[in-house]
Amino acid sequence: MFYSMEPETPHTTPPGDAASEAALTHRSLVRGIAVLEIVAAARQPLTLAEVATHAGLPRSTTHQLLRTLAALGHVRQDAATRAWTPTERLHHLLERDWDPERIGEMAQPWLEELSRLTGTGSSVAVWTQGKVLIVAKRESDGPVRVAQDVGALRPLHCTAVGKAIAAWLPPAVLEQALRGVRLERHTAKTLTTREALAAELRRVRAAGHAIDDEEMYEGLRCVAMPVFGARAQVLASMCAVGPRQQITRDKIARIRPVLARLARGLSEQLGYERPSVQQITLVRKA
């Protein structure tokens, strides 16, 4: 809901008038909430002029409110475009589920960094409605590129992004996702039995990363790590991908720390907080 505000009027209230001060505070609060709702509801970044128009407020007042909301961590201004967008703080406070498109938008800078540092292609896939969905990608700058389509689905059993999610799903959720699903063979290396997949997911969880070693496509390797949300639930996975000549065993060892740092960064942006040493100790004792 957007609120229409009256033009700004000079403050002529005598100091110390408690009722008048309360009225001014109420008006500022209403205006601030209105501006926050306008920015949060927009499907794209808004300029100062656009926010002021929607709110029915002078630009100076709108700018002051936006700066206050930014200081509180609710909105941010893009340094290049000067447009305003909501931050992730509201999602953190309300523990709302993330929209796949929004995760894709947030993932893109992390993928840019991953591809720049590793020289590989990269992508992020989310777990949504029982499916693994590619929501963001970055092709490598080299002569050989791996085709990845945003919006494409990936199998759980034979892709690194799928296994990196499956290994951290609650058992009941994983069972539901696999119920009635045939583990289709794509290459000679594809795992096609539940027993083999269960053993693989145990290895993935112990190692902290998943590898697709020509299991989906011959000649293609991929390494992926999970991305978590505010409730420590797996939301997505991030991967580096390329031809097997590029993604060698030695290269995977060099990719892993970079991928771990960037997947953790995206997780923290999505609200994940790493448990403290004390929390880990309590869990181990339980």
What is the average pLDDT score of the chain? 85
In angstroms, how far apart are the furthest CA atoms of the chain? 83
Q: What is the pLDDT of residues 54-64, one digit of tens each?
A: 999 999 999 99
What confidence tier does 221 reach under pLDDT thresholds 50, 70, 90? very high
Q: Grade residue 82 by pLDDT with cuts at 50, 70 and 90.
A: very high
The pLDDT-based confidence of 10 (bands split at 50, 70, 90) is very low
Strand partners, 76: 85
Where exactly does CATH 3.30.450.40 map onto the chain? 100-275
* Domain 100-275 of CATH type 3.30.450.40: yes
Please check whether residue 165 is in contact with residue 134, taking contact to mean a CB–CB distance below 8 angstroms.
Answer: no
pLDDT score recorded for residue 143: 61
Question: Alpha-carbon torsion 29, 33, 35, 36, what sign?
Answer: positive
Residue 8: predicted pLDDT: 43
| Residue bearing tokens 């008006």 | 27
75-79, 118-122, 262-266: segment of lowest average pLDDT = 75-79
Tell me the chain's radius of gyration from C-alpha atoms.
24
For the cut 60, the answer to whether the pLDDT of residue 15 exceeds it is no
In terms of C-beta density within 10 A (0-12 exposed, 13-18 middle, 19 or more buried), how is residue 237 classed?
A: buried
Q: What is the pLDDT of residue 2?
A: 38
Q: Is the model's pLDDT at 91 over the cut of 70? A: no
| 276: pLDDT strictly greater than 60 | no
Q: What is the pTM of this model?
A: 0.67
Q: Which of 233, 281, 32 is nearest to 127 (CA)?
A: 233
**Which ranges in the chain are annotated with CATH 1.10.10.10?**
18-87
> What is the CATH number assigned to the segment(s) 18-87?
1.10.10.10
Q: How many angstroms separate the CA atoms of 68 and 256, rounded? A: 40
